[in-house]
Amino acid sequence: MLNKFATGTFDNNAKNLKHIHVQISLRTNTVALNITHLTYFCGEYEETASISVTKPAIQKYTTEDIYFALTTSTKRIINTVHYIKFWAKLPGINCLIVLEQNDFDNNRNITEYLIHEGIPCNIQSSNIARYEERYLELFHLAWNYQEINKRKAIEWFAVGDDDTVWFINNLLRVLQQYNSSNTIYLGDISDNRDQVQHYGAYFAYGGGGIVLSRSLALIFSTYPEKCKQYLNIFGGDGMIGKCITEILKVGLVKNHNFHQMDHHGDMTGYLESGINGLVTLHHMFSYWRPFPKRHTNKINETMYLLQLAYATFDETFLKRYVRLHREANQTLLLTMGYSFTIFNRILLPAELNLVENTWDGTKMIARKTRSKENKKTTWYFRRSSTETSYKSTRYRTVYEKRSDSYGQISNIEVVFTN
């Protein structure tokens, strides 16, 4: 079953219309200057294109059916702990963190630190110094650990980087489309064309997450020595891919909800491009930031906002709704739980299918892009509240825009009922 959040969820299947009420307020620090009801912003918004494809569920899995594993260092994990907390603190999480032996011996207090941060992962040391080789052995170690300590059979094994952010409910929705008794190698390649041309498209890129079914993990765990012939490959994920595809003869099942995120710079256009249903994000704050610095420049605050938005909207987080105001030549785009944008032109459906290239200009491997929009105004997610009645749930979400002028902050409040 999926994790139960305090708020409701939405119908993610058919396209639909939502009646949305919008108002704007302007304030300096804490003083409200005005509140304006934007009549022409209110009305029917149409659900628009998404890359998420939902197939019928053929199995039911819970969080306890998945075993997560990662390898890192005691120094790195201090900087990546907020990404791990995003998913590892959820009820029922099984996880293993592998550290190099000398690193662990010299920093035994890391166990207490992780407990203090609320991360329940088991800690295991490895005598392998090279990070990529430890990565290769993660599925083997995870399999052995769960076999020794198992309370129930693990159906799926998931490996990622220490800065991989897992969206657990969305992962469960993806896994429910597969039978774990089949040999399944699941993930996706990089979204950066240059990366794929350099490293290849045969393997699941580790930052986006690698998932093996129980049956494949069992077979893979019996081949640790044979897999070592690929130690010259760059990256533990590439080694895993070579072993699975060439020795075990199992091909990669690509799912575009896994996001390696190998582009640099402003990725707001990508987050507004219809990636609801996302299973992972990667390279946050090292390559890109989810919000402009003016909105928030802190990792912990950013992760709090993402966690709140995902907990509120669940599978509809980042789903898009659009309204055209032809008299003003404007397109209004609501990206659920992330942003509210006014484009000062009419965007046709075909244009909304394209990703606005707000980053450094590198090409995408699977999606087409459009140029960065210069004439637009965007408010970003700040807070939300819900009012639940017998028949429906009412959502109030505040999106915020900060200005350097006199410390002004304008808020867009979006209200709708499900």
Boundaries of every domain in the chain: 17-53+319-417, 63-254
* pTM for the structure as a whole: 0.92
Residue 32: per-residue pLDDT? 52
pLDDT digits (tens, 9 = 90+) for 258-312: 999 999 999 999 999 999 999 999 999 999 999 999 999 999 999 999 999 999 9
Residue 271: per-residue pLDDT? 98
The span from the CA of 212 to the CA of 223, in Å, is 15
Residue 209: per-residue pLDDT? 99
Local structure of 50: helix, strand or coil: coil
Residue 34: per-residue pLDDT? 55
User: For domain 63-254, which architecture applies?
Assistant: Alpha-Beta Complex (3.90)
Residue 11: per-residue pLDDT? 34
Q: Kindly give the parts of the chain with pLDDT less than 50.
A: 1-14
Instruction: Name the helix (H) or strand (E) containing 389.
Output: none
Kindly state the tokens that stand for 367.
């999606």
pLDDT digits (tens, 9 = 90+) for 1-47: 444 333 222 233 435 667 888 877 665 555 555 556 667 788 888 99
Identify the burial level of 43 via C-beta atoms within 10 angstroms of its C-beta, where 0-12 means exposed, 13-18 middle and 19 or more buried.
middle
Residue 404: per-residue pLDDT? 61
The answer for residues whose C-beta is within 8 angstroms of residue 338's C-beta and 6 or more apart is 271, 272, 309, 317, 318, 380, 381
Residue 5: per-residue pLDDT? 31
Q: How far lies 87's CA from each of 57, 108, 160, 300, 381, in Å?
A: 23, 24, 12, 14, 20
